[in-house]
Structure 1
Amino acid sequence: MRTCFYKNFKAANYRNTMKQLSRLLLLLLLTVPSYAFSQNLAQRKADIDALKISIITTKAELTPDEGKAFWPVYNEYEAEKNSIKRERRQKAQEARANIDNLSDKDIDDLLQNDFMLRQRELDIDKKYFEKFKKVLPLKKVAKVYAAEDQFKRELLKRLRDQGD
């Protein structure tokens, strides 16, 4: 009788251990790809940032001293702009998902809010234009804006080429 109990206990223990191992394996299989994806995403963002810095530095012909003064201001500028862009994108996604269920007043409110956010973006552009002029000659500020446009075109081109 003791051996029968021991066999049942051993078999039950084995099943529990296998269930736990299966769950652990499943958890690992689910988390590893998401970790790899986030690593890949972080690497892609770093590559894009490096491309942007390279294009702006080259096209605006920034000296090392100008770069030291310019990049901290530019990084603040981008952080403020990106915050508003995220908010605009989120609200636009919500609106697209619910557009048929919204009243005219809700739609008007959404559009008015979008106009307000775009105005805030413009205000940020104006504010940082003044800050850029304090750290760079005006011609180089103009070259920075032109370089930003070139960066956007280059990024779109690379994304298109990647899709082919």
Structure 2
Amino acid sequence: MKTKFILPIILLFISSVSFSQDFKEKREKVKALKVAYITEQLELTTEEAQKFWPLYNAFDDKQAELRHEKMRAILDRFRPGSVDKLSEKEASALLVQMESLEENLFNLKKKFIKDLQGVISAKKIIKLKKAEEDFNRELLKQMREKRRG
């Protein structure tokens, strides 16, 4: 009788681990493609790349962490019908939390740009912004095409 309960749990665990590993592999592949794309678009020298990538990776990790925190806080409150159940006090507190996270993201971006100015030219910083947007746009395009096909 215990096997009836253990087997589905084991299968669920194996499939979730498999999915998790598959997701991590895909995420790492996308990250590698992004690194190659940005390096090419910015035409980074070896010296610039050695200084640039640690800054970029730290910024990217912190930005992802803040965005995840923001989305978790917002999604928890925006389930169907949940907004209507918020009191004015709770809604005000949520607004303050959302503003704080946005401000943290903005300050993180400002610091990142300031840090980059000592590593690469202003022109390359602008190229970075364009390269990130172009990469994300192409990634979304490929994802849409993959879903359709």
After TM superposition, the score normalised by the length of structure 1 is: 0.81
2:96 maps to 1:149: no
Determine the structure 1 residue equivalent to 2:100: 116
Equivalent-residue separation in structure 1 for 2:146 and 2:2 (angstroms): 42
Measured after TM superposition, the shift of residue 155 of structure 1 is 1.6
Determine the structure 1 residue equivalent to 2:48: 66
Letter in 2 for 1:151: F
If you compute each CA radius of gyration, which structure gives the higher value, 1 or 2? 1
Cα distance change on mapping 1:77 and 1:23 into 2, 3 Å: same
Measured after TM superposition, the shift of residue 64 of structure 1 is 2.1
Equivalent-residue separation in structure 1 for 2:3 and 2:73 (angstroms): 43
After superposition, the C-alpha distances for 1:15-64 in whole angstroms (9 at most, x for unaligned) are xxxx5666664443222211210111111111111121122111111122
Equivalent-residue separation in structure 1 for 2:138 and 2:5 (angstroms): 45
Determine the structure 1 residue equivalent to 2:22: 40
Which deviates more, 124-133 or 77-86? 77-86
For 1:30, which of 5, 12, 16 is the aligned residue? 12
Determine the structure 2 residue equivalent to 1:130: 114
Which deviates more, 57-66 or 38-47? 57-66
Cα distance change on mapping 1:92 and 1:23 into 2, 3 Å: closer
Percent identity, aligned pairs only, is 30
In structure 1, the gaps of 5 or more residues are 1-18
Structure 2 matches for 1:98-117, cutoff 5 A? 98-117=82-101
2:55 maps to 1:55: no
Equivalent-residue separation in structure 2 for 1:28 and 1:124 (angstroms): 42
Equivalent-residue separation in structure 1 for 2:78 and 2:6 (angstroms): 39
Cα distance change on mapping 1:62 and 1:104 into 2, 3 Å: same
After TM superposition, the score normalised by the length of structure 2 is: 0.89
Poorly superposed stretches of 4+, deviation over 4 Å? 19-25
After superposition, the C-alpha distances for 1:70-96 in whole angstroms (9 at most, x for unaligned) are 000111111221121011101111110
RMSD between superposed Cα atoms in Å: 1.7
Letter in 1 for 2:55: V
Letter in 1 for 2:142: R
Equivalent-residue separation in structure 2 for 1:28 and 1:94 (angstroms): 29
Letter in 2 for 1:139: K
Measured after TM superposition, the shift of residue 105 of structure 1 is 2.2
